[in-house]
Chain A
Amino acid sequence: MELGDVKYSRADFIETASGNKVSRQSILCGSQNITLNGKTVIQRDCVIRGDLANIGIGRHCVINPNTVLRPSFKKFSKGVSFFPLHIGDHVFIESDCVISAANIGSYCYIGKGSIIGRRCIIKECCAIAEGSIVPPETVIPPLSFFSGTTSAPYEELPECTKDLMIDITKNYYQHFIPS
């Protein structure tokens, strides 16, 4: 289905020169470490912890309300070190998610309320079902659908997932207009 326009008040969102739309009610800690590559939408009440490590978010990403992006850490004998968090292009993250992954590939869909464990690597064109819990240090191969908490053989997504995700994220951005 093609979505209709979603209107927002200009006072509620900051629009940057490269087209990023960040809600004023979101919490961006350590904003000098956070990179948004362009045309990304960050909704209200999101928490992005750039103070712990670098966070890089690709183009045309959508981060829905109440999501937490928190880089994970690893204990070494001489202390603790935080891993940078990289999110690829055209990633759609639904609301109420907690993301501690190390890497989320391009063209991924993260369902509502899911918890991505620490140091996970999610490859391109993956989908995570609503309410699922990805255990720590999981590697999800491309074109897989992860649901529940299992790491048993994953269901396959259709081959055109990349085009569908590009369509969804671009349409979302085009229909996200100021009132």
Chain B
Amino acid sequence: MTSFLPGLLKNNSVVNYRCSCSKLSPVYRQYFCRYCLCLRCWYCVSHEPDSFFCGNCLESMPSTEAKMKRNRCGNCLCCPVCIHTLSVRATSQTIRDATDPTKNITKKQYYLACAQCRWTSRDIGMADKPQSSGLWQDPENQHLARIEELSEYYQSVATAERLEKERKKVSVRRRSLTMYDRQTGRRRSSFMSSLSSLNLSLSPSVQPPVNAPAASSLADITPLPEEFYTVAMEIGDSTTLLQRHAAPERQPTSIRDLQPLHRQLVLRRNSRCRKCEHNLCKPDYVPSSSKFKIELLALHHVPEIKIVHGYNAIGYNTEERVVLSVTNPSDQSTSITLEPLSNRELNDVTATIIPPSLQLQIGAKDDMAEFDDVVDDEKAVKDDPDIVVFRKTNRIHVVTMVTAHKCTGDVIVALRISYNYTNTATALQNKGESPPAVSQLEQSLIINLGQVQV
């Protein structure tokens, strides 16, 4: 079986659906907004940060703590050479007891080791610790004081600018006539009422920003030491650019100066429809869970069309039989109609497809069907074998005829599928008083059937 991963990850699928914004992407990469009743692709949703967690210890962290720790886990350390998570290894050391020289005590000492590149904390001269966690200290950042000074200065400048803007808004409001206080019904001056609502101090000028000392330029630059010209460089001793920039505050040039790094946190996203602002996808708070609190995925609401394996390569100007599979994702049965689309409606179409012209019924999704051996012949739909070659619960295989019109390149056809959609969102809102609304929806899609055979 050829790997399906490239299509899954790179939006490089054979069957692509057209989103409401006219961009094409696979159905498993899209969302379905059941309030707007249309597909939303990756670019039609707004992605918001939902929760942070460490990918190694799977501990979640609130966003304020993540911001304070600069999106790094406090407990998990990474190898500075290969960025793989370090594991703590224990060794035992026998030393003479201080109180009784004849006895020996076995002490456990811990050190960090990388299972991928075999780097250890002993390589940089870090002493073994008596405890497995909590004692691995980060080296001091000599630039920290200067960075904090500058950051305080810029924060005070930003506060001063914001207060200045508020002041200008107040002076604009002064021009309006006296207004009534909504609560007491009395007239009051607009100026005083605006000031009291803003809680500004009545001092004439805003407090000046904290001045940070300016950076000083160097007049004398120390020349390069003689070793750079006379001693041959040891390439094995110098760090790569990636290793250097992984610790930007120190940027060590020698591998002996590398220190373990804290592991970067993983961010879970929350997707929201840009038009109606409803949440389309909200992950579970627990990091080790792959479930979702809200999951409005296109695959669960839109019929999925796939090509059935085993069709002949399509030749130029010859009609070939291609079987498509249509799957109904909902737990209500639906009826679908397939129509071909021309080049005027979708670009890059290089072949025509003739799907069956009649309306086709597809059963509801039934999870228990695979355990049910009894087949009810009376309820079974009788299909024309030239149109529907296979039917099982919520899936049918439909015969189409494809003719390529270009002698080079890929055979690309376009289809429109119309289907009945049962909207359970409105039923939930009315608390079950009204039956769910059934609407007729349409989706356009493009299918790539491979290279044309000359």
Interfacial residues of chain A within 119-137, with CB under 8 A of chain B in the complex: 123-125, 127, 129-130, 135-137
Interfacial residues of chain A within 1-44, with CB under 8 A of chain B in the complex: 1-4
Is B84 within 8 A of A158, CB to CB? no
Closest CB in chain B relative to A74 CB, distance in Å: 11
- Choose among A1, A127, A150 the residue that contacts B8 (Cβ–Cβ < 8 A): A127
Residues of the B chain whose Cβ atoms lie less than 8 Å from the Cβ of A112:
3
* A-B interface pairs (CB < 8 A), number: 110
- Choose among B58, B295, B300 the residue that contacts A141 (Cβ–Cβ < 8 A): B58
By beta carbon, the residue of chain A nearest B327 is A167
Is A141 within 8 A of B55, CB to CB? yes
Residues of the B chain whose Cβ atoms lie less than 8 Å from the Cβ of A4:
308-310
- Choose among B3, B28, B55, B82 the residue that contacts A94 (Cβ–Cβ < 8 A): B3
Is A159 within 8 A of B295, CB to CB? yes
Is A1 within 8 A of B306, CB to CB? yes
Is A139 within 8 A of B290, CB to CB? no
- Choose among A151, A155, A163 the residue that contacts B9 (Cβ–Cβ < 8 A): A155
B325 at interface by CB-CB < 8 Å: yes
Q: How many residues of B contact A (CB 8 A)?
A: 43
| CB-defined A-B contacts under 8 Å, sample of 21 | A2-B397, A109-B5, A111-B3, A127-B5, A135-B84, A141-B55, A141-B266, A145-B5, A145-B9, A150-B84, A152-B83, A153-B266, A154-B55, A154-B266, A158-B29, A159-B292, A160-B297, A160-B299, A164-B8, A164-B28, A172-B1
Given contacts A2-B306, A152-B83, 9 further A-B contacts (CB under 8 A): A1-B306, A2-B397, A77-B92, A136-B116, A141-B266, A142-B288, A142-B289, A150-B82, A162-B290
Q: Which 5 pairs between the two chains have the least Cβ-Cβ distance? A: A135-B116, A142-B290, A136-B115, A124-B290, A125-B290
**Residues of chain B having any CB pair with chain A under 8 Å:** 1, 3-5, 8-9, 14, 28-29, 53, 55-58, 78, 82-85, 87, 92, 115-116, 264, 266, 281, 287-290, 292, 295, 297, 299-300, 306-310, 325, 370, 397
